[in-house]
Every structure is written in structure tokens, then in C-alpha cells.
Structure 1
Amino acid sequence: MQQVRAVVAKAKGEPVSVETINVPDPGPGEAVVQVQSCGVCHTDLHYREGGINDEFPFLLGHEAAGVVESVGEGVTEVAPGDFVVLNWRAVCGECRACDRGEPQYCFNTHNATQRMTLAEGDLAGTELSPALGIGAFAEKTLVAAGQCTKVDPEARPAAVGLLGCGVMAGIGASINTGGAGRGKSVAVIGCGGVGVAAVAGAALAGSSPVIAIDIDPQKLEAAKALGATHTIDSSSEDVLARVKEICGGYHEGAEGADVVVEAVGRPETWKQAFYARDLAGTVVLVGVPTPDMTVPEIPLIDVFGRGGALKSSWYGDCLPKRDFPMLVDLYRQGRLDLDAFVTEEIGIDDVEAAFDKMHSGAVLRSVVVL
């Protein structure tokens, strides 16, 4: 066992604190990773606010890259010294999804068996709940070995670590879930980190037009830099009319976009996405709603009459061992600008301030560099 510094949320809504924690030696199927970078994601803020569950205290952080320090018994997929991006869906290889050759839909993903604990103070010995089974706002963390995906060691950790959650969720929502590609139009509602990644994914797949929709001019500019051909300011423009106008200029008679990615997670924007798609088009929900939200009232005849598909996207329907190395290679080739997602690099003591910046919309990602 060793002790390291880490960011912990001790109680609902309270500011996070940097604490000393105990990291156990890896057991069977586990690995200890020396964390080099970890992005500050909205999901971490949801944990702090009690929006995920109430299993406090939480060890926050999950968009991470680092180097494997040690592995437990039976681990063959990674070895000490490997540069890895951490993922939160280590597939089991045995469930019905895995059995039918669709491990990206694994229903039995797993995390480390052992728990890290607080090392000091009144709560010394208390088990920590790692965010998404990772907990990487820490100098070192314990994960299941299957959560470690080997990638090109020459890649910049602060950039490629973001594939561990938000960037992969957005790119995958466009390509894997939505089926974006040549000859298809894509609209993305909400241009935070995940939405801008969905724009980048659509552009990477060859879709055109790629339409970015948001109320924030800064976010729309970021979307243009990552491949949006058109932008719509939904605070002042009629979104449905503009999407139909833009897509009609590419395909005469189009009623909307072939794929609409909703990256906000609200009923009103999901309804907007429903009506912004073309006949037989696809709506992809990748924005995370709160438990109290419900599907908006839509006439069932409209659901029937428009055809197509209404989908939710789990982690961009990705398979980390397939998708992470490929996207890192595209980054290294200059074909996917992951650096553009890194607004600032910060220290482990600056996470609470990063949450405040997140509220203002001033950053795509703050990244903790250790």
C-alpha cells in the first residue's frame, strides 16, 4: 500500500478538498496507474452535487492518461511501463452482449475489487467511491486492468486522456451511434466538450453539412474550429427553420438533418432534436439528463410518421481497445485536433476553481496535470 494526494468530495454540495489517500497494492486483475493528466468533466461536478448517487466520499476524476506502475496476478493485457488511457467500461467478455460479438454494449462492465481509502483525519480508513470506477484526480489510482487501454506513448497525456470520457462520448455519438458519414448531414445541439467532440466526429467521418447549435458564441466558434460548416445561435434564430434551410441546400426537399445529436440532456432540446431531423433520420441522446426529467409530449403519429430511430449513446458506444488507439493515431497524424479541447492545464489544488469556470462556459476542458 502507498499514500498519495487526491481530490475528494466528502459531502453533497461542499467544496472538494485535497486529501491523502491509501492506494492498495494491485490484487488479481487490477493495476495501479501513475496518473499524468485528468480532465475536469461535468460528471465530476454531478458527483460532488449528489447527482449520481449518495455514496460519499467520492474520489473524483476519470478522464485520465498515465503509466502503469504495477499489476496484480493474472494481468496480461498491460504491463508496468505501458502508457494508457483509462476507461470506465472494462468489458466482461461473458455477458449476452459480449457473447454475440458486441462488447461495446457489455452489461457487466467491472472495476477494481479493492477500495482506496482516506488516510488521515476523523474519516481515516473510510472507503472512497471512485468516480466512474476510476478516481484519477490523484497521483496514483487503482483500477481494473481492463480499464487500461494502451496507446502511443509519444502522445500528449493532457490531450489523449480526454478520450477517457467526454471526447469519446461525443465522437462516438456521431460515428458509432448515429452512423455519421459521407452523404449524411449532422446537427449537434449543445456545444460543450461532448457536443464539440460530436461535431469533430461528424467532420472526421466526412459528413456535410455539419451544423453546430448553441446559445454561446464562444462555443460556436470552437465548433467551427473543429469542423462545423454552419452554426446556429439558438438564442436568436429559429433552429428548426435554419436546419431545414441548410440541409435543403445540400439535398433538395430535406426536412432536417440525417443525424441530430442532442448533447445537452434536457427535454426541450431533445424535442427540438426530434423535429430537426429529416424523414428516416436518427436522434442521438448523449447529453445526460437528471433523474426527474421525462420525455416531452410528442404526438405518437409524429413518431410513426417520421420513421428513423431514437437512440441513446452509452459512452459513444465505444470499444476502448478498438477506438482509443485509432483516435490517438489520428491525433498523432494531425487529423484529429485533441489539443483544441484543452483550454487550460491546472494543478491538483485547482479543481474547485475549474468547477466554477465550467459554470461560466469559459472552458471546453480544464486538465489537471500531475
Structure 2
Amino acid sequence: MSQQVRGVIAAAKNAEVSIETIVVPDPGPGEALVRVRACGVCHTDVHYRDGGINDEYPFLLGHEASGVVEAVGPDVTDVAPGDFVILNWRAVCGDCRACRRGRSQYCFNTHNATQKMTLVDGTELSPALGIGAFAEKTLVAAGQCTKVDPEASPAVAGLLGCGVMAGIGAAVNTGNVGRGDSVAVIGCGGVGSAAVAGSRLAGASRIIAIDVDRRKLDWAKQLGATHTVDAYGVDVVEAVRELTDGNGADVVIEAVGRPETYEQAFYARDLAGTVVLVGVPTPDMRLELPLLDVFARGGALKSSWYGDCLPSRDFPMLIDLYRQGRLDLDVFVSETIGLDDVEAAFTRMGRGEVLRSVVEL
């Protein structure tokens, strides 16, 4: 029997969100019904609201979430009612060419729930990243549920579902940051600050945080930055070189997603160094680099999609590190709010006043 719950809806492009009654079906084959405990407020939700992803309105927003499995459909065996889970948007298929080669983190056929959640009048909803967790309950594919230690804070755990995992993974998985490496992170919002934390976790000896906002640089220092660069009116490339004995950083992580900052990242790395793009550009952006420079500098230019993570491997590991006191995830939770406060939280996020606002239910 379907259930009716409250959820945050983006009904039209650039319109403020509203709280509506959502109809959530019982889980069918391969699906799970999750009672949401907490959900982070992410820039991606703003992109959905403002039409930056697609125009499949209305959207049920929210995707950085943790919760408790309430029911599962037929043939679901990996999770069961009562399990505390982090929701992910990479439910791997196990059968595509990437999965068959043992590279499930690059699965080409990730999937979501088959059934649609709707408004009371039957209008089908598009859940953000196939999750839709600014709601009291949501319906997802069972593979989108990753079981973790139930003693972890729901507010903290949910953040691994998107931004924090993207940043940590950009450093650890994509950038392969190693002991003694120098790392520069351009853009120190939620994802960039997580990349700082991931670089520290990996044993980097020099971690340079770069931003135009002093608050973000202060957050980065709390998470392990050894040096900070206020990029306002400063030559970022020269600043990084000065802090790396004139060489540039071994790994530069671009967490802004703009051509200007990507070019800074390209030239701020050491010869044969690595650039990791984890900031999300818009479709209209174009990049121009001298091809000879790309050839002559060697190294690697990589993109990091979801931190190249495999949720079943990475989420439990990072929660364990958090529980052991080796990874400070509490820093990311700037405030906890209710469903009714999401629109105001978007404004605070846009002003750079928070790393993450987290809706608690």
C-alpha cells in the first residue's frame, strides 16, 4: 500500500521550492523503501531547481542522505528492514563491460527505482540523482542503499552520499595522492574541503588550499591544509610554485569547474603531475590550452565522477575511519535544519556561509 509523506519539490525553473505531499509506492522487485534520517543541502539540488540539469520538472530534491530501510521488494538480499544505510547514486549493474572487467566504480549502467513517486494528483516526480531524499521517505533501487555502522551520526553519514565522497575520492581514488606528495586544491567549498581531508588521510606532506573566501580557507585548515592562498588578486600558479620549491604540486584538484581555474590547475602542477577535475562545469563552458603544453608537461589530466568511488567499498571504510577519530566529518555539518528551511539554506550556501546545511527528519 502506498504512503503519503512530505517532500521538497522544485516545480518550475528558478521558482522557489515548496513542501508538497508525496505518494511513495511500496517497493517492487529490486527496490527499497527508506525512512530518511538526514539529507545534506548540495549545490546539485540548486542546479536541479534552476534547470541546470534538465527540464524534467517537477523534481523531488535531495540526494545526500542516510536513513533506515523500512521495507524491501522481492529478491532483495543485500539490505533488510532495519538496516542503517547511506543512499548513493551509483547502483552498479554488475554486468556492463566496466563491471565485467572488475571496474564497477565506472559502471556504465547504474540504475534507480523502477516505480515513480508522484504528487497526490498523480503527477510523476523526477527524484534528484534518482534519490529524492528531501522527504520523510523515499523509494530507491536496493543497490542505492549501502549498509554502514548504525552508531554513526545520520547527519554526517549522509554527506558521504555525494559531496564529501566526491572530494575525498578525487584525492584518494582519482588523484592517487600518496605519502609525501604535495597537493593543491582550488576551490574549498564542501567538495574541495573534502579533497583536503582526503589528501591528509592519504599522507600528503603539503596541502595548499586556494579560495577567494577566507571562511572556506579556515575550514580547509581545520581539515588538514598546511598552507592557504587567498586567490583574490593573486597569481595562483606562482603562489603554488613558491610553496613547492618552484616546482608546482604533484596533484592539483580543481573543485570549481571553470575554465579559468582549470587552466590555473594545469600550470600549477609539477612536470608529470596530475590534474583532477571534480568541479562540475556547465554545458556552455569551453577550454583552450596549447596542445604543445599538454604534450610537453606530461603527467595526467583526469576527471573525477563521484570521486571514482565504489559505495559498497568506500562508504563503510570512511564511516569506520570517522568512528575511529581519524577522519573529522563533523566539521562539514555547519547547521541542522528542517524541510521547511531548504530554500533559505540554498541562499546561505550561495553566499558561502556554510559548508553543509543538513536537513534532519
**AA partner of residue 236 (structure 1):** G
Pairwise CA RMSD: 0.6
* Conserved? CA contact 2:180–2:206, under 8 Å: no
**AA partner of residue 72 (structure 1):** G
Structure 1: 4+ residue segments shifted above 2 A: none
Unpaired runs of 5+ in structure 1? 249-253
Aligned equivalent of 1:311, options 272, 291, 302: 302
Residue equivalent to 2:66: 65
Give TM-score, length-normalised by structure 2.
0.99
Compare 278-287 and 232-241 and name the one that shifted more. 232-241
For the pair 1:10 / 2:2, whether they are aligned, the reply is no
> CA deviation digits over 1:224-280, x for unaligned, max 9?
0000000000003321111111111xxxxx520011000000000000000000000
For the pair 1:288 / 2:289, whether they are aligned, the reply is no
Unpaired runs of 5+ in structure 2? none
Aligned equivalent of 1:166, options 163, 169, 183: 163
* Conserved? CA contact 2:88–2:311, under 8 Å: yes
Equivalent pairs counted in the alignment come to 360
Residue equivalent to 1:335: 326
For the pair 1:177 / 2:174, whether they are aligned, the reply is yes
Query: Deviation at 1:116?
Result: 0.1
Residue equivalent to 1:149: 146
Give TM-score, length-normalised by structure 1.
0.97
Aligned equivalent of 1:263, options 255, 260, 285: 255
Task: Give % identity.
Answer: 77
Residue equivalent to 1:192: 189
> CA deviation digits over 1:12-48, x for unaligned, max 9?
0000000001000000000000000000000000000
* Conserved? CA contact 2:39–2:64, under 8 Å: yes
Residue equivalent to 1:365: 356
Aligned 1:17-28 pairs, distance under 5 A: 17-28=18-29
Residue equivalent to 1:322: 313
Residue equivalent to 1:251: none
Query: Deviation at 1:128?
Result: 0.2
- Secondary structure of the residue aligned to 1:247 is coil
- Secondary structure of the residue aligned to 2:262 is helix
* Conserved? CA contact 2:182–2:251, under 8 Å: yes
Residue equivalent to 2:269: 277
Residue equivalent to 1:102: 103
Aligned equivalent of 1:228, options 222, 225, 228: 225
- Secondary structure of the residue aligned to 1:240 is helix
Residue equivalent to 1:93: 94
Query: Deviation at 1:346?
Result: 0.1
**AA partner of residue 112 (structure 1):** A
Residue equivalent to 1:128: 125
Q: Aligned equivalents of 1:280 and 1:63: distance in 2?
A: 35
